[in-house]
């Protein structure tokens, strides 16, 4: 019988956590269709309510291409306007 790793994943403590925004745990999950995802998970903080989730997580496809930088913030000086003004 062949082992099927679909619909399974695992996380480990994040040894590279440098700030509070970095995940407490990271790992990999494989969906039913075989797509692999990076898993990032954060523990509940001591200041959170007891009703807060014990663990929050996000899934990001492993094959997703990273963004090529942040979009430029538009200021009034950089906003582009249409030349056709209807009045």
pLDDT tens sequence across 19-63: 999 999 999 999 999 999 999 999 999 899 989 999 999 999 998
The pLDDT-based confidence of 80 (bands split at 50, 70, 90) is low
The tokens for 63 are 């094959």
Domains of the chain, residue spans: 8-61
Please name the helix (run of DSSP H) or strand (run of DSSP E) that holds residue 9, with its range, or none. strand 8-13
pTM above 0.85, yes or no: no
Sequence length of the chain is 87
The pLDDT-based confidence of 78 (bands split at 50, 70, 90) is very low
Please name the helix (run of DSSP H) or strand (run of DSSP E) that holds residue 36, with its range, or none. strand 36-43
The span from the CA of 31 to the CA of 7, in Å, is: 5
């Amino acid at each position: 019988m062949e082992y099927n790793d679909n619909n399974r994943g695992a996380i480990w403590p994040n040894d590279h956590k440098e700030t509070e925004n970095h995940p407490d745990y990271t790992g990999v999950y494989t969906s039913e269709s075989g797509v692999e995802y990076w898993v990032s998970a954060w523990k509940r903080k001591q200041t959170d309510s007891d009703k807060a989730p014990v663990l929050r997580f996000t899934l990001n496809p492993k094959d997703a291409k990273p963004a090529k930088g942040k979009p430029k913030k538009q200021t009034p000086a950089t906003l582009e306007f249409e030349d056709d003004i209807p009045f």
